[in-house]
Structure formats: C-alpha cells, structure tokens
Amino acid sequence: MAADKTTVHRLKVTLRGVRPPVWRRVEVASTTTLHQLSAELEAAMGWFGGHLHAFQVDGTTYQLPADDEFGWRPTKDERRAVLGKVLPAVSIKMLWEYDFGDGWAHDVLVEAIEPAVADVLYPRCITGRRACPPEDCGGPWGYADLLEALADPSHPEHAAMLEWASPAFDPAHFDPDGATHAMRLAEPWNID
C-alpha cells in the first residue's frame, strides 16, 4: 500500500551492535518529515537529542544541511523529505545514525503502512525492549563494557560505572507509555 496523508507507518527501530537487542516499534504519520522523525525516534529510543544524525536510504543521505559542513557525502535536506515518500512500501529499510562520535546506528524497517485510526493519537510507541544506552558511553563497545562492569560487583570499574550511569539505570527496563509521551513532546532542533 502506498502512503498518503491519511496513513501511518509502523516502524521497527533496532539499535545495531548491542546485545541483548534494544528496539522499539512505533507508529508515526506518513506525512512526518525525517527532521521530525529523528526527534520522535530519539524520544522513543531514550536518547536526549542534540547530537548530529543522518538517515540513509538506497545510497541517499538525508540530514540537516549544516550537519554536512565537510561535504564528504552528498546529502538531501531532511526537513523536506517526507517519510511516506522516502519509505513508500512495506519491508523497506533505512539506516538512522545518531551521535556520529559514539556511532549509534539503527535499522529502521517499515513493518506496515495502514490507514490512521480516528481515535488513536500519533505518534506512539507500541512496544520495545530494553533501556537505551546512556548518552556518551562510547558507542556499542563502551556500552558493552559498561554493562559488564555494572553486572559484576567485583569488577574494578563497578563503583565508578554505577555512579556514572546512576544507580537507577536498569538496562532491562523499557516503558512504552513513557516513550509515547516523550515522542509526542519531541521537537526537532533547528539550524535557522
């Protein structure tokens, strides 16, 4: 089914390189720009935002023009790219990169494109698994080290990592209602 203004994309967003897997299943309006989608995905995953990001689909990169100041890859403006046009069919995938320094890569898969339900408020997070890694923990490798240290009280870095990540951090916890609330408040940052 092709997307139009009355449809909703159901996306599965999976963080690459992290075990056990961290993922979210979300529904967003097909008319959402990639600029807004990035803010909504950041909220659904649990990222705080403020880091550079980009989308890649079929060899095309979408991001904010100012984010490509070095010109190392040709880009299209994510503010003008609409989800339903960029991902027009079920089973299409794209890569969403977040925080180029830590190198968080997410697979975004279109699971369904369906008519919007009149009494449902979008965007929303339907389900997911596991907490988002803490910001600036060093990417998938740093997160693996963090989890190892947190899981072993005799680990030489246990106390430091517990303090850094916060004693309240539970890598197994995920709250879809909280993610939905955050998605609905999400605002993309602007360069203008």
Q: Do the bridges between strand 7-15 and strand 23-29 make them parallel or antiparallel, or are there none, so unpaired?
A: antiparallel
**For residue 192, is it within any domain?**
no
**For residue 76, is it within any domain?**
yes
Residues 137 and 69 in one domain: no
What is the distance between the terminal CA atoms of the chain, rounded to a whole angstrom?
35
Residues 104 and 138 in one domain: no
Backbone angles phi, psi at 159, to 5 degrees: -65, -45
pLDDT in tens, the chain (192 residues): 444 458 999 999 999 999 999 999 999 999 999 999 999 999 999 998 888 899 999 999 999 886 555 556 678 999 999 999 999 999 999 999 998 888 999 999 999 999 999 999 999 999 999 999 988 888 999 999 999 999 999 999 999 888 888 778 899 999 999 999 999 999 887 655
Q: Do the bridges between strand 7-15 and strand 75-77 make them parallel or antiparallel, or are there none, so unpaired?
A: unpaired
**For residue 190, is it within any domain?**
no
pTM score, two decimals? 0.90
